[in-house]
Amino acid sequence: MFDTLARQPDDPLLALIGLFRMDERPGKADLGVGVYRDETGRTPIFRAVKAAEKRLLETQDTKAYVGPEGDLVFLDHLWTLVGGDVVERSHVAGVQTPGGSGALRLAADLIKRMGGARIWLGLPSWPNHAPIFKAAGLEIATYEFFDIPSQSVLFDNVVQTFEGARAGDAVLLHASCHNPTGGVLSQPQWLEIAALAAERGLLPLVDLAYQGFGRGLDPDVAGLRHLLTVVPEALVAVSCSKSFGLYRERTGAIFAPTTSPVAADVVRSNLAGLARTSYSMPPDHGAAVVCTILSDPALARDWAEELEGMRQRMTGIRRALAEGLRTRWQSLGAIADQEGMFSMLPLTQAEVLRLRTEHGIYMPGSGRINIAGLKTTEVADVVGKFMSL
Ligand code: LMR
């Protein structure tokens, strides 16, 4: 019976991990999968994570199931970090998920169940957005969000899309640190988007995977928080992979700000039911770590400080890269003002392949680079290799 299956292509982004590992050249650089690395090339475990893990090891007294909704205290702390107090707490439904991808999938399943089967996706976007929505049975409608040659957000397209969308349509938004472009929406643009979404009866699905990697913990959710004061309902998919460095622990949550405690309970029950039929219950460890950190002011302070150090390192790399690359591509000076881990270079697939084979520089065929994969000492060398194309 398995012979009815066709071989599927490997995920091209994740395949880069293996290819990079196998490359034995000393000057190789991994600008592929979105994982933060420090100046020594390591993906560090946050000091606060280590401390929380030690504490858990000593105090945790059971491994019994956490239930389909996960840990309610974790959810409460995480929502405070994300939404602050802009939405009445009893109006917010929350369910712990296996990473941000799990949150996006539950959101998509919920949208499908609501009958609002269409979602608008600005391109380019994270390469797994469309496959997740498609797997949930949603119709995907796309528009151009970002122009790579000029490195600019095509805000007029966002406005036109929102104006032309049908009431009940979902719209995917990146809260900050746009993956893959680093393109930034200004606060006035968020105000316009929020007003349009409310006026047109659209359901925003906001992907928040890099809080603290852009302008800072609060600035990175300022647009989202404004949106939540204007639209009656939304979905917010949160990943703790990058912000807490918990990639492999699969830690995240889906939140749904609603209009009443009763509505929140209905949404929560649907999300929990969808989780139950998919993976039953979320993994515990990462969420227990985040919960331990956020419920201890000293640990939370230490975590935020370390995160801020990472952010500043990425900002420095951005400036150095922009400075070098603008001498050949003037528009790439914009990389300095973009935010998060990623930017898109105006490269052809053939050029991306040449960088890999001739220079050991690994990046996806789209031309996306992971800024956080570079050490300061490597920037000049990598820029030189880009220039040699
Ligand atoms: C990325 O975009 O590189 C990360 O979010 C990792 C992933 O799962 O794709």
- Give the sign of the dihedral formed by CA 355, CA 357, CA 361, CA 365: positive
**3: in domain:** no
Determine contact, residues 182/148, Cβ cutoff 8 Å: no
In a domain, 64, yes or no: yes
Distance from Cα 297 to the centre of ligand 1, integer Å? 30
| pLDDT tens profile 323-345 | 999 999 999 999 999 999 999 99
Active-site choice (30, 169, 207, 220): 207
pLDDT-derived band at 117, boundaries 50, 70, 90 = confident
Minimum mean pLDDT range among 112-116, 202-206, 207-211, 299-303: 112-116
pLDDT at 55 over 90: yes
Cα 32 from Cα 60, distance rounded (Å) = 37
Q: How many domains does the chain have?
A: 2
Range of lowest pLDDT (83-92, 98-107, 108-117, 229-238): 108-117
Q: What is the mean pLDDT of residues 306-317?
A: 98
268 and 310 in a common domain: no
Q: Whose CA is nearest to atom 4 of ligand 1?
A: 34
Average pLDDT, the chain: 96
Q: Which of 261, 280, 297 is the endpoint of a domain?
A: 297
Let me know whether 231 and 364 are in one domain.
Answer: no
Cα Dmax for the chain: 61
| Coil vs helix vs strand at 252 | strand
Residue nearest atom 6 in ligand 1 by C-alpha distance: 34
Tell me, in angstroms, the distance from the centre of ligand 1 to residue 35's CA: 8
Pick the residue whose CA is nearest to atom 1 on ligand 1.
34
Question: Which domain covers residue 34, as residue numbers?
Answer: 10-45+299-387
- The tens digit of pLDDT for each residue in 16-54 reads 999 999 999 988 999 999 999 999 999 999 999 999 999
Are 37 and 114 members of one domain?
no
CATH (domain of 127): 3.40.640.10
ipTM for the complex?
0.94
Q: What is the pLDDT averaged over residues 219-247?
A: 98
Same domain? For 22 and 91 the reply is no
Cα of 173 to ligand 1 centre, how many Å?
16
1 domain-assigned: no
Q: Could you tell me the distance, in angstroms and rounded to a whole number, from the CA of residue 250 to the centre of ligand 1? A: 12
Residue 5 included in any domain: no
> Could you tell me if the CB of 245 is within 6 A of ligand 1?
no
Strand-strand pairing, 203-208 and 235-239: parallel
133 and 282 fall within a common domain = yes
> Has 218 been annotated as catalytic?
no
**30 and 114 inside one domain:** no
* 303 in catalytic set: no
- Does one domain contain both 267 and 213? yes
Q: How far is the CA of 229 from the centre of ligand 1 (A)?
A: 30
Q: From the candidates 209, 288, 322, 372, which is the catalytic residue?
A: 209
Judge if 144 and 36 occupy the same domain: no
Q: Quick one: what percent of the chain has pLDDT higher than 90? A: 96
Q: Which H or E run contains 171?
A: strand 170-174
Distance 164 CA to ligand 1 centre (A): 30
Q: What is the CATH number of the domain that holds 41?
A: 3.90.1150.10
Task: Kindly state whether residues 70 and 204 are assigned to the same domain.
Answer: yes
The predicted structure's pLDDT at residue 27:
86
Give per-residue pLDDT as tens, 268-293: 999 999 999 999 999 999 999 999 99
- State the Cα–Cα distance between residues 218 and 225, nearest whole angstrom: 9
Q: Does 235 reside within a domain?
A: yes
**33 CA closest ligand 1 atom index:** 3
Residue 170: Cβ-neighbour burial (10 angstroms; 0-12, 13-18, 19+): buried
Is 122 found in the same domain as 268? yes
| 96 and 193 together in one domain | yes
| Position 116 pLDDT exceeds 80 | no
Please, are residues 339 and 186 in contact by the beta-carbon 8 Å criterion? no
- Residue 207 bears catalytic tag: yes
- Residue 91 vs residue 388, higher pLDDT: 91
**CA dihedral sign of residues 252, 256, 257, 261:** negative
209 is catalytic: yes
Atom of ligand 1 nearest to the CA of 241: 5
Residue 150 has pLDDT above 80, yes or no: yes
Strands (DSSP E) along the chain, which ranges? Answer: 29-30, 92-97, 118-123, 139-144, 146-147, 152-153, 170-174, 203-208, 235-239, 252-257, 342-344, 361-362, 368-370
| Residue ID of nearest Cα to ligand 1 atom 2 | 34
Query: Distance (Å, rounded) from C-alpha 252 to C-alpha 272?
Result: 14
pLDDT at site 10? 87
Instruction: Output the pLDDT for position 39.
Output: 95
- Asked if residue 373 and residue 242 are part of one domain, the reply reads no
Task: Kindly indicate the confidence band of residue 389, based on its pLDDT and cuts at 50, 70 and 90.
Answer: confident
Probe target for ligand 1 pocket from 16, 30, 33, with the most ligand atoms within 8 Å of CB: 33
Domain finish residue from 297, 330, 345: 297
> Of 240, 269, 297, which residue constitutes the final position of a domain?
297
Q: Which two tokens stand for residue 9?
A: 């292509």
Considering the domain boundaries, does residue 225 fall inside one? yes
- Position 57 in a domain: yes
Name which residue leads in pLDDT, 67 or 95: 95
Higher pLDDT pick, 76 / 9: 76
266 within a domain of the structure (yes/no): yes
